[in-house]
Amino acid sequence: MRMGPHMMLGSDPDAVKGVQVSRGIWRRVLGLAAPYKGMLVGFLLTIIGAAVLDLVPPLVFRQIIDTTIPNQDTAQLTVLGLAVVGVALVSAALSFSERWWSARIGEGLIYDLRVQLFDHVQRMPVAFFTRTQTGALISRLNNDVIGAQRAMTATLGSVVSNVIVLVTTLTAMFLLEWRLTLLALALLPVFVLPAKRVGRRMQALTREGMNLNSDMNNTMTERFNVAGALLVKLFGRYRTESREFSARAGRVRDIGVKSAMYGRTFFIALGLVAAVGVAVVYWVGGNLVIQGAITLGTLVAMAAYVTRIYQPLTALTNARVDIMTALVSFDRVFEVLDTPNPIQDRLGAIDLVDPVGQVRFDHVTFRYPSAAQASVASLEAPGSSTESGGPDVLRDVDAVIEPGQLVALVGPSGAGKTTLSSLVPRLYDVTGGAVRLDGHDVRDLTQASLRAAIGVVSQDPHLFHESVIDNLRYARPDATDDEIAAACRAAQIHDVVAALPDGYRTIVGERGYRLSGGEKQRLAIARMLLKDPAVVILDEATSHLDSENEAAVQAALTTALAGRTAIVIAHRLSTIATADQILVLDDGRIVERGRHDDLFAAGGLYADLYRTLIRGDAEGVAAAEVVTPGVPT
């Protein structure tokens, strides 16, 4: 038998209690295993061969005891002895082969599922990630994928091995001596019933331990990232955090001790029952030998076989739970893979060639997708709302941005500025109307070509935990060092990077925490410039810069954005005042549009917002007066 009793204890009936697995999942599983069909056949044949071969040694010993020794046939004894050695060598080879098949199939399935999940998830729209728990998603990529892999190797191998071992062993036992076989089977309830009780307790401890480990890991993840560590330091909560972590770790320790003791109890019980079974067989069988009913060799063979039937019989009593648990893992993986992606290339989508950067919002209406449309319920936090998408956040937005124009989106918080800009690279799809780039509905363009034409610098740009140059090359993997340096000079960040300990090879840290906010912004601008897009979206891209750095970056952007369409969401006066067109949004509508002077003179919402900016940014007044002399403040 190839599956120990500890695997039986690891199955959890409560975890699959009441769970319904669709019939189609079997076809999905078989389809997933299709590339490994030949390997699976080899795997199963190896298991069968090993199970049958394990029957040989007791029969050889029977022959030696009943025939070879009484006849004093040394030649036959030598042959049989060599046969036992040969069987052992072949069994070792089969065991090695079985492990190779299992590892090759299992690791191959893990690879296939992980790649499929990663590829599918990363293509999901932004709305999916705004609702999904990252930890739950990673668990699908790890725990459930591994659980599904075990279904194809450990569980399948266990069930087949146990069935083969049980059938072949019982067949051999009945053929040798049916009375002793029935006697050995009669002892099974003495072991199975207590084992089930121990198993249920073990399962409860396993669930509790997994939950405690999850809590402990979650604590470490939150406290050990930069933001969490900074918060602990600022509030001086070292001792409290240590006490709480110590308590959690202590409970994990206690559960581990209990689990170890229950596991040992199971093994001891199994050993005792096997010993009792052997003793009973020897006692009853010994009497049969004395009476001449059976031979001594038969008795020895029966005693060897009896130890082989208890473990597979016990494991098979839990086979349904094992299979259901494995199928649940597959079901959870398929649940993510089957989540539809509403933002996909249309049939016949075309590439955007030589974009010039004309953007048109053609009577655009938009509402955010509902929970059912945007995510998987089981990946959301418990108690998450299942509300519909809610009211429209953009209403009949109609505007044209000509190539090369700098357009500022202005409005109170929640007016829809960022949402409107997100529709251009098709992070969301419009509910009504259309967004057009160079006359094409963005939904008729391939996403790759559309996003290649658009560069975005957000308010909080993300940097990977890699070197400066790796973060910059994310925009253009083939960029040369000179091109990267030129982009950084244009973004006024080259001197800062060159002064770092390892220059462009310096690791920026998680989310770029080794850099200041302004430095991160300028690196993000350099990354965007390296991409060389036709349309640039700046979402508060200069919000973290002081006046001196902002002036330098604004000067760089003035040159860098020449010939490009720029959509800027900004509260800085210098950006707004120099815009070719200002779109003023309020409650999802464009309520005013025009240039700075005209809108300010009109005395509407823009003028109120502008005066608020002046009061909140004294330095911005000077900048605005330089750019737009004579504008009243």
Q: Which residues pair with 565 in a beta bridge?
A: 535
Q: Is a pLDDT exceeding 90 seen at residue 159?
A: no
| Better-predicted residue by pLDDT, 133 or 498 | 498
- Structure tokens that stand for 135 in this block: 């930890």
What percentage of residues in the chain have a pLDDT greater than 90? 20
In one-letter notation, the amino acid at residue 50 is A
Q: Residue-wise over 68-91: b if at least 16 C-beta within 10 A, else e?
A: beeeeeeeebeebeeeeeebeeeb
Q: What pLDDT score was predicted for residue 19?
A: 53
- One-character DSSP codes across 498-535: HTSTTGGG-B--GGGTTS-HHHHHHHHHHHHHHH--SE
The residue-averaged pLDDT of 251-264 equals: 82
Q: What pLDDT score was predicted for residue 615?
A: 57
Segment among 15-19, 505-509, 522-526, 567-571 with least mean pLDDT: 15-19
Q: What pLDDT score was predicted for residue 545?
A: 61
Segment among 114-118, 287-291, 458-462, 484-488 with least mean pLDDT: 458-462
The residue-averaged pLDDT of 430-455 equals: 93
Q: Is a pLDDT exceeding 80 seen at residue 40?
A: yes
Using 50, 70 and 90 to split pLDDT, how confident is the model at 618?
very low
Using 50, 70 and 90 to split pLDDT, how confident is the model at 385?
low
The answer to whether 467 and 507 are in contact (CB under 8 A) is yes
Segment among 161-165, 482-486, 565-569 with least mean pLDDT: 161-165
Mean pLDDT of the chain: 80
Q: What pLDDT score was predicted for residue 442?
A: 95
State how far the Cα of 135 lies from the Cα of 222, in Å rounded to an integer: 11
Q: What pLDDT score was predicted for residue 163?
A: 87
Q: Is a pLDDT exceeding 90 seen at residue 93?
A: yes
Please say whether the dihedral angle defined by the alpha carbons of residues 347, 477, 419 and 601, taken in this order, is positive or negative. Answer: negative
| Better-predicted residue by pLDDT, 601 or 226 | 601
Using 50, 70 and 90 to split pLDDT, how confident is the model at 548?
low
Using 50, 70 and 90 to split pLDDT, how confident is the model at 378?
low
Q: What pLDDT score was predicted for residue 319?
A: 67
pLDDT tens-digit series, residues 286-329: 999 999 888 999 989 988 888 788 778 767 766 666 677 667 77
Q: Is a pLDDT exceeding 70 seen at residue 628?
A: no
Pairing label, strands 440-441, 432-437? antiparallel
The residue-averaged pLDDT of 129-144 equals: 73
Is 493 exposed, middle or buried, given 0-12, 13-18 or 19+ CB atoms closer than 10 A? buried
Q: Is a pLDDT exceeding 60 seen at residue 623?
A: no
What Cα–Cα distance (Å) separates residue 445 from each residue in 88, 122, 199, 332, 436? 65, 19, 58, 33, 10
State how far the Cα of 299 lies from the Cα of 137, in Å rounded to an integer: 57
DSSP element (H, E) containing 190 = helix 188-224
The residue-averaged pLDDT of 586-612 equals: 89
| Better-predicted residue by pLDDT, 633 or 73 | 73
Highest-confidence range of 210-224, 247-261, 350-364, 539-553, by mean pLDDT? 350-364
Q: Is a pLDDT exceeding 70 seen at residue 331?
A: yes
Using 50, 70 and 90 to split pLDDT, how confident is the model at 366?
very high
The answer to whether 568 and 579 are in contact (CB under 8 A) is yes
Q: What pLDDT score was predicted for residue 490?
A: 84
State how far the Cα of 442 lies from the Cα of 133, in Å rounded to an integer: 30
Q: What pLDDT score was predicted for residue 322?
A: 66
Give which of 486, 481, 427 is closest to 454, Cα–Cα: 427
Give which of 407, 558, 528 is closest to 463, Cα–Cα: 528
Segment among 201-205, 238-242, 274-278, 494-498 with least mean pLDDT: 201-205
Q: What pLDDT score was predicted for residue 423?
A: 94
Q: What pLDDT score was predicted for residue 445?
A: 95
Please say whether the dihedral angle defined by the alpha carbons of residues 390, 391, 396 and 401, taken in this order, is positive or negative. Answer: negative
Q: Is a pLDDT exceeding 60 seen at residue 13?
A: no
The residue-averaged pLDDT of 69-86 equals: 91
The answer for residues whose C-beta is within 8 angstroms of residue 591's C-beta and 6 or more apart is: 584, 585, 604, 605
Q: What pLDDT score was predicted for residue 630?
A: 34
Segment among 92-101, 247-256, 611-620 with least mean pLDDT: 611-620
| Better-predicted residue by pLDDT, 268 or 524 | 524
Is 105 exposed, middle or buried, given 0-12, 13-18 or 19+ CB atoms closer than 10 A? buried
| Cβ count within 10 A of residue 377 | 11
The residue-averaged pLDDT of 568-594 equals: 84
| Better-predicted residue by pLDDT, 604 or 213 | 604
Using 50, 70 and 90 to split pLDDT, how confident is the model at 225?
low
The residue-averaged pLDDT of 49-68 equals: 90
Highest-confidence range of 243-252, 393-402, 540-549, by mean pLDDT? 393-402
